[in-house]
Amino acid sequence: MRIPFSEFLKDNLVLFDGAMGTELYNRGVFINTCYDELNLTRGKLIKEIHQEYVDAGADVIETNTFGANRLKLQKYGLEDKVYELNFKGAQLAREAAGEDIYVAGSMGPFNERLEPWGPLSENEAKEIFQEQAKALYDGGVDLFILETFSDLHLIQQAIIAIKEKYELPVIAQMTIGEDGSSLFGTPPEMFAAKIKQWGADVIGINCSVGPKPMLEAIEKMSEVVDIPLSVMPNAGTPVNVEGRNIYLSTADYFAEYVRRFIHAGASVVGGCCGTSPAFIKEMRKSIQSIQPRKVIQKQIKVLQEVDLKPSIPKEKKSEFAKKICDKKFVTSIEIVPPRGANADVAVEQARLLKTEGIDAINIPDGPRALARMGASYLSLMIQDKADMEVILHYACRDRNLLGMVGDLLGAYAAGIKNILLVTGDPPKMGTYPDATAVFDVDSIGLTNVVTYLNSGQDLGGNAIPHPTGFFTGVGVNPGAIDLDYEIRRFEWKVKAGAEYAITQPVFDNELFFKFINRVKEYNIPIIAGVWPLVSVRNAEFMNNEVPGASVPEPIMNRMYATKTKEEAREVGLEIARETIREIKSVIAGVQVSMPFGNIKYPLEVLKEVL
């Protein structure tokens, strides 16, 4: 009869089972199958694999429920079967385990990103974890194991969610790269210390890499925490052989590393992807050769909190920022990057705008998903050749999170000081509709990224030697169809660190004033977007084909009433001037677009402001 797992752990080296997913794959189950659903459709096969691990000598077997949370099951249309799949998974494992072997309820991360990098809130995450944990608990698990987490914030919410409801032990495992750090760059000693603070009973690492990097990580972790450590490596890095991923590490190699893991301070060992019952059998032999356990005493280091450099004061971030902080009305004009590789026209326009007293040039990043010169490159050329300050628009669409961090560090090092963070238009509306979008984060998550970099931290919470000092702006649409949702997102952007906002083109002043009244409490400068309508067709285009733009009926009627192209252009420019006159008292400045690349239009609009 088994004693509580926490008691068993005190006096024993604990051996977990090996992989479930690769075992299923090796037995002919295709990778596009929902492996968690097999608990219902092929329960006999799942139980057979559990039984083989029991026979191999595992002390603990894990339920086949790694991906059985609501968000991951949505991909297969199974989100309404969370309880059924997890409960059955726990039952199958319990039947194979009998009375002597422990069952761990396996829980993995979500595909959806948690705040601050994505839209999922802490409370939503906790509810999803608790929903899965309840089914596993009802099914009879002895403990919970959180596996293959890369986001510290997410594993924190998982630990809290389980501990709020259940008294069973929790093993919390991060996944690491070859350098031993989490995939967000947090070193193992740092994430181990944090996970202990959040209440995990065992701290560990699993998946992604083989035994050698994990040994080095466990050695560092054992120096900073005094609770049990777990380690469950892959069978090395897979090699593609004739279309199949083959893991090259052998069971004997793993068995040798078991001794090393234990000597380094681990008390829980097991296998992840590529390991099999044969691996567990050899690992059991290694453990038996060193039982009873010899407790290795180590002095625990106390990690000091990183003394982060303060962010650069807002007024010192750029000349543009200083003018806004000094309550001076700022002007900017948008120059769209060229479609070819020659930026001479754009640079010359920027030179002229500087002589006219314009404060900054806005450079949009792939507007309307059209293939154009990269906005960051044009920004650097304008700053260098025209000696003109720029506001670089930066979209989330085209780069993953790692690439965005690299871009941002490089842009700041090269001299870009003002940035406008946007989610980006979807590729389907642009030049290459079959192109894929990345969208690792949206503009809210990206604002958090920049705030981290500005405060001297990378995404893993590590100090960086030379922080950025971006003047951080975000977009907002006063004419959004669902204004409540737009304002909620705006609030999140401000909380994430936005320091100013630029609106979509303003055509309806009454609507704009209502928007301004609703966002006053957030107390950041609003720069109004202004688009000079230069023809009837241009007005129709803005009203029907530009996302976020809406030209009200009275303005459309004024444009329709014109008789000639020249008259339409003059009426459109006057409408833009009227807009600025009417809203100037409640805004910090304007961004004027340049229809058809004609520099005369924005200058005509701004002549009474300059």
Asked if residues 451 and 468 have their Cβ atoms less than 8 Å apart, the reply is: no
**489 and 362, same domain (yes or no):** yes
Domain count, the chain: 2
| Burial class of residue 184, CB neighbours in 10 A (0-12, 13-18, 19+) | buried
What pLDDT is attached to residue 241? 46
Q: Phi and psi at residue 93, in whole multiples of 5°? A: -65, -40
3-state secondary structure of 561: coil
Closest residue by Cα to residue 231 from 200, 205, 196, 262: 205
- DSSP E strand stretches across 38-180: 60-62, 102-107, 143-149, 170-174
In a domain, 298, yes or no: no
Q: What's the predicted TM-score (pTM) here? A: 0.75
Tell me what the pLDDT averaged over the chain comes to. Answer: 89
Average pLDDT over residues 495-504: 94
Q: Which residue has the tokens 């008259």?
A: 567
**24 and 60, same domain (yes or no):** yes
What pLDDT is attached to residue 40? 96
Sequence-distant (6+) residues with CB within 8 A of 470 are 317, 408, 412, 416, 417, 418, 419, 450, 453, 454
The answer to whether residue 386 scores a pLDDT higher than 70 is yes
What pLDDT is attached to residue 99? 92
What pLDDT is attached to residue 190? 92
CATH number at residue 174: 3.20.20.330
Distance CA 324, CA 318 (A): 10
**208 and 263, same domain (yes or no):** yes
Alpha carbon distance, N-terminus to C-terminus of the chain: 85
Q: 20-29, 35-44, 125-134, 520-529 — which is least confidently predicted?
A: 20-29
pLDDT tens-digit profile of 136-167?
A: 999 999 999 999 999 999 999 999 999 999 99
Give the domain range for residue 452.
Answer: 317-532+588-594
In a domain, 280, yes or no: yes
What pLDDT is attached to residue 468? 95
CATH number at residue 417: 3.20.20.220
What pLDDT is attached to residue 299? 56
Closest residue by Cα to residue 594 from 576, 567, 609: 576
The answer to whether residue 334 scores a pLDDT higher than 70 is yes
Q: 135-144, 316-325, 399-408 — which is least confidently predicted?
A: 399-408
Closest residue by Cα to residue 330 from 338, 339, 320: 320
Among 125-139, 230-244, 261-275, top mean pLDDT goes to 125-139
**332 and 242, same domain (yes or no):** no
**321 and 258, same domain (yes or no):** no
pLDDT tens-digit profile of 516-570?
A: 999 999 999 999 999 999 888 888 888 777 766 778 899 999 999 999 999 999 9
pLDDT tens-digit profile of 202-242?
A: 999 999 888 999 999 999 999 999 999 999 999 876 555 44
- In degrees to the nearest 10, what's the CA dihedral of 154, 156, 158, 163? -170
**How sure is the predictor about 503, in pLDDT bands with cuts at 50, 70 and 90?**
very high
The answer to whether residue 431 scores a pLDDT higher than 60 is no
Closest residue by Cα to residue 353 from 588, 610, 581: 610
Token pair recorded at residue 75? 């991909």
Distance CA 221, CA 480 (A): 49
Q: Which residue has the tokens 């733009």?
A: 549
Which H helix or E strand runs over 492? helix 483-496
Sequence-distant (6+) residues with CB within 8 A of 488 are none
Distance CA 242, CA 204 (A): 34
**How sure is the predictor about 427, in pLDDT bands with cuts at 50, 70 and 90?**
low
**108 and 188, same domain (yes or no):** yes
